[in-house]
Amino acid sequence: MVLCETARGVERVAVCSAQAEALGIRARVPLAEAACGFATNDCKLQIEPYDPPADREALEKLAERCERFSPTVGVEPGERPEGLLLDIGRVAELFGGEADLAAQLAGDFARRGLAVRLGVADTIGAAWAAARYGSGEWEVGSGEDCKLKIENCQLQIEDEPPPRERGPRNPAPKFAIDNFQFSICNIPPGIHPTALRPVPVEALRLSSETLDVLHQLGIARIAQLEALPRGDLASRFGPDLLKRLDQAAGRLPEAIPGHRAGPEFQVEWSPEHPITRRETVRAALEQLIRDLCGQLVRHGRGAVQLECRLVCPPREPVRISVGLFKPSSEWKHLFGLVELKLERLRLPGPVAAAFVTAAATAPLVYEQQELFPASSPRPSPGGKGGHWQRRQLAGLVDRLSSRLGRRAVAGVRLLADAQPELAWRYDPMVGRPSRKAPRANRRPVRSRKRDRRHSPAALAPRPLRLRRRPVVLAATSVGPDRLGHDGCPVRFRFRGREHRVGRYWGPERIQTGWWRGWAVGRDYYRVETTTGQHYWVFRRLRDGKWFLQGVFE
């Protein structure tokens, strides 16, 4: 499997499976090159779009599961984290030592179908380097402040399978559990500065720009970097390079950022005795959400992600998570969404405590209240009744997402891509605050003539319905034009029927650059058949074949 992303108009590999790595495919290589690697080895390439927010959400779920191994668990900092950080210095003895703790941790991930790489060291930077570039030849140390780095290679979270019986523990650094290969690299305490000297400079968690310059200068190992004067490094690369170098060597402290940041808005309820009646739990949640909304209103915030936690000892706490399309502080609306999930929830035991947290918030945008929102039969979004219409839409999206799931209700996001089938994607509509600033804080943008020429209104009409994959047509076109290419089709066959073209508009040529790997060149036509139907068809330039891309309503 290969997860791809588009960067600067080129589709590149973002994450790849172990099978892809065995064939020599690495991250950041063009997708066309990866496809050629699979084709030469007679393998089928499975391509899916890369979703960084979904990866972070999966990592946060994994971090929550890892709390049974360490009280301090954090997601790797950065916009696109790839692993977890655990502080095991004071808890390893409770699991029989660092080796036993690592083996139990790897087995727990194996039972969930996840392949991980683990590194143990005195510092976060050294553990990060050991997880990615360790050879597994170092022995286990017993440092008091050892850090354990887990690099997750597959972020697909599925239902937990039934536990399997484990065989005898293998004391070797590399071992296999449930047919998943794991690598555990342990650096003994006190030797990490020496152990990191032969490691590549990529292990210092530097930016891609800094790494490019280092490679141009012929610096490939950390030992070569440490041999240079520190003053010259600071003046040439800035403070970040020395900061990462000192953090890995232990000369500069670094803390693990906990994945559970202190909640900004949280209320709790602790009855004198555990409660078994569902009506009492419902009433308690209603009051808690009222109190939470009071806090939000006083700070001018609205909840985007609401989480309820019901403590039912000795079982695991029951969690209810609700995402919203727009920030809201109306307790009736929030409680209604929680109630939709609560009525389908089965409590494993008496409730001893309840917590309600606004996990994600955003500023509330206040709009002028309308006295008669229903006076206009068809309110427009920007005119009279627009605020009422937006509130109704947000409420509908929230209720559907609460009932069907966050990913079941999605909106279309436009992408900057000339190829029509790649110029959009579906994104969940709830659970993420909007990045747009409030209307009052937005700065006006001056209109320019060149902006008008490249605006969507200046493009040819696009159909509302596009095929995920263009359909091959059996078409008959007119004679060649002055460039030697066939013109608009006279008739074509689609869905078992013969369609004759009465009028047409075009052609509109769409091409992609050579850097995309597979160049795409098409001549698009909007055709009207003699029966009044409108289609969007194109001719592929390299072989002259005709395809149907969409249907106009």
> DSSP string spanning 429-454?
SSSS---SPPGGGPPP----HHHHHT
Helix axes 230-237, 239-249, angle to 10 degrees: 130
> How high is the mean pLDDT of the chain?
76
pLDDT of 296:
92
Helix axes 124-133, 239-249, angle to 10 degrees: 90
Contacts (Cβ under 8 Å, ≥6 apart) of 92: 98, 101, 142, 146
pLDDT of 487:
79
Domain ranges of the chain: 2-50, 53-249, 266-402, 465-552
Contacts (Cβ under 8 Å, ≥6 apart) of 410: 426, 427, 428, 429
pLDDT of 534:
92
State how far the Cα of 503 lies from the Cα of 365, in Å rounded to an integer.
49
Q: Which residues of the chain have pLDDT under 50?
A: 136-144, 152-181, 368, 371, 374-384, 433-454
pLDDT of 479:
66
**Is residue 330 classed exposed, middle or buried when 0-12, 13-18 and 19+ CB atoms within 10 A define those classes?**
middle
Question: Rounded to whole angstroms, what are the CA distances from 287 to 268, 273, 290, 405?
Answer: 10, 18, 5, 25
Fold of the domain built from segment(s) 266-402: Dna Ligase; domain 1 (3.30.1490)
What type of residue sits at position 184? Answer: I
**Is residue 139 classed exposed, middle or buried when 0-12, 13-18 and 19+ CB atoms within 10 A define those classes?**
exposed
SS3 per residue for 120-140: EECCHHHHHHHHHHCCCCCCC
pTM value surpassing 0.85: no
pLDDT of 290:
94
pLDDT of 438:
40
